[in-house]
């Protein structure tokens, strides 16, 4: 099937590389707002009987999600045979249970709408915590890729004597893998979240690692509070200033500068969301997944 790829919202992933390596055409699409803030969509490329792929960064999703759905709807209307989507960062994964009576489980509603518009999805390290598989809420084939190898490679190439640190139990899944790939030890802390912007982390027992460079690894950096609290503890313990690695550079408000100012040596992220801290390229993961699963 002849495939055409459309990039929405200035993707951080290298779409040119994807097109070049897979022989895809890069399509042309106009998305703009009418004066009343409704969305205008126009696909300018021929897509009849073709597989259409959208690459869309949908962090801070409320203004981006509806245009993405409209783009998918337009593609179908114009005769696309299949419509797939690459969302390097998948939002609305964290509200995965009712923490308080009356709360909505938005991850479920989001997945339900999403699944109606696309034939398949590729995403990187979605926040699977209480859910074990995407198929619990997504009804389309979902290819979940992991950034652990590119992160481990970055550490190996850039840091000597690292100790990999996960700020909470949820992070253990990727921290353990990153540590294995980087051939480094790891520890995982205990975190208590007291509110949207307030977290506490336990004092780690890290005396034996004092001479190593601490590398904090987490999936999402949003308010930055999780990382900031951990950086403060490490500073208190007279560890070296840590390098903070996040897969997804969500960075709400001033989170990036707050984290740098908290005593971090450096903040490094993967290019799932466009940001100045993007230093770890995950485009090859996407290319390989397309070759193995979609390009048939």
68 with 83: CB under 8 angstroms?
A: no
Which of 13, 170, 204, 270 touches ligand R5P (CB under 6 A)? 170
Q: Which is nearer to ligand R5P, 8 or 267 (CB)?
A: 267
Specify the stretch interacting with ligand R5P by CB under 6 A; choose among 12-20, 96-104, 138-146, 167-175.
167-175
Both tokens assigned to 222 = 């949003």
Residue 249: which of 228, 223, 229, 225 has the closest Cα?
223
Q: Which is nearer to ligand R5P, 14 or 168 (CB)?
A: 168
70 with 23: CB under 8 angstroms?
A: no
Q: Which is nearer to ligand R5P, 31 or 175 (CB)?
A: 175
The least distance separating ligand R5P from the CB of residue 152, rounded to whole angstroms, comes to: 18
Question: Interaction with ligand R5P in 221-240: which residues (CB under 6 A)?
Answer: 221-226
* Site residue total, ligand R5P (CB under 6 A): 15
Instruction: Say how many Å lie between the first and final Cα of the chain, rounded.
Output: 8
The least distance separating ligand R5P from the CB of residue 57, rounded to whole angstroms, comes to: 17
Task: Kindly state whether residue 126 participates in binding ligand R5P, applying the rule CB under 6 A.
Answer: no
Task: Kindly state whether residue 218 participates in binding ligand R5P, applying the rule CB under 6 A.
Answer: yes
Both tokens assigned to 277 = 């801290």
Question: Interaction with ligand R5P in 22-41: which residues (CB under 6 A)?
Answer: none
Helix (H, G, I), strand (E, B) or coil at 180: helix
Residue recorded with tokens 């996040």: 246
Task: Kindly state whether residue 14 participates in binding ligand R5P, applying the rule CB under 6 A.
Answer: no
Following CA atoms 93, 233, 190, 162 in sequence, which dihedral angle do they give, to the nearest 10 degrees?
80
The least distance separating ligand R5P from the CB of residue 10, rounded to whole angstroms, comes to: 23
Q: Which is nearer to ligand R5P, 15 or 223 (CB)?
A: 223
Residue 217: which of 184, 194, 239 has the closest Cα?
184
Specify the stretch interacting with ligand R5P by CB under 6 A; choose among 102-110, 163-171, 233-241, 269-277.
163-171
Q: What binding mask, one character per residue, do residues 79-118 give for ligand R5P by CB under 6 A, x or -?
A: ---------------x------------------------
d(CA 183, CA 163): 10
DSSP 129: S
Helix (H, G, I), strand (E, B) or coil at 75: helix
263 with 237: CB under 8 angstroms?
A: no
Task: Kindly state whether residue 199 participates in binding ligand R5P, applying the rule CB under 6 A.
Answer: yes
- Binding residues (CB under 6 A) for ligand R5P: these are 94, 167-168, 170-171, 199, 218-226
């Amino acid at each position: 099937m002849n495939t055409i790829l459309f990039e929405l919202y200035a993707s951080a992933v290298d779409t040119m590389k994807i097109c070049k390596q897979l022989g895809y055409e890069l399509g042309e699409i106009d998305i703009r707002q009418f004066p009343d803030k409704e969305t205008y969509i126009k696909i300018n490329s021929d897509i009849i009987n073709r597989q259409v792929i959208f690459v869309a960064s949908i962090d801070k999703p409320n203004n981006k999600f509806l245009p993405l759905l409209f783009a998918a709807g337009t593609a179908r209307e114009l005769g696309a045979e299949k419509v797939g989507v690459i969302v390097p960062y998948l939002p609305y994964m964290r509200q995965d249970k009712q923490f308080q009576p009356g709360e909505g489980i938005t991850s479920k509603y989001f997945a339900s709408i999403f699944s109606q518009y696309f034939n398949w999805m590729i995403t990187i390290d979605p926040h699977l915590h209480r859910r074990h598989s995407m198929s619990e809420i997504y009804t389309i084939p979902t290819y979940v890729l992991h950034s652990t190898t590119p992160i481990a490679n970055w550490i190996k190439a850039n840091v000597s004597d690292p100790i990999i640190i996960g700020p909470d139990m949820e992070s253990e899944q990727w921290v353990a893998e990153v540590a294995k790939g980087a051939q480094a030890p790891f520890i995982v802390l205990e975190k208590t979240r007291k509110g949207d912007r307030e977290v506490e982390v336990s004092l780690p027992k890290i005396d034996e690692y004092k001479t190593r460079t601490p590398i904090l690894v987490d999936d999402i950096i949003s308010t930055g509070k999780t990382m900031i609290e951990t950086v403060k503890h490490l500073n208190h313990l007279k560890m070296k200033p840590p390098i903070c690695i996040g897969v997804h550079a969500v960075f709400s408000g001033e989170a990036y500068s707050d984290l740098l100012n908290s005593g971090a040596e450096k903040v490094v992220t993967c290019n799932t969301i466009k940001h100045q801290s993007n230093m770890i390229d995950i485009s090859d993961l996407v290319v390989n997944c397309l070759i193995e699963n979609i390009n048939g």
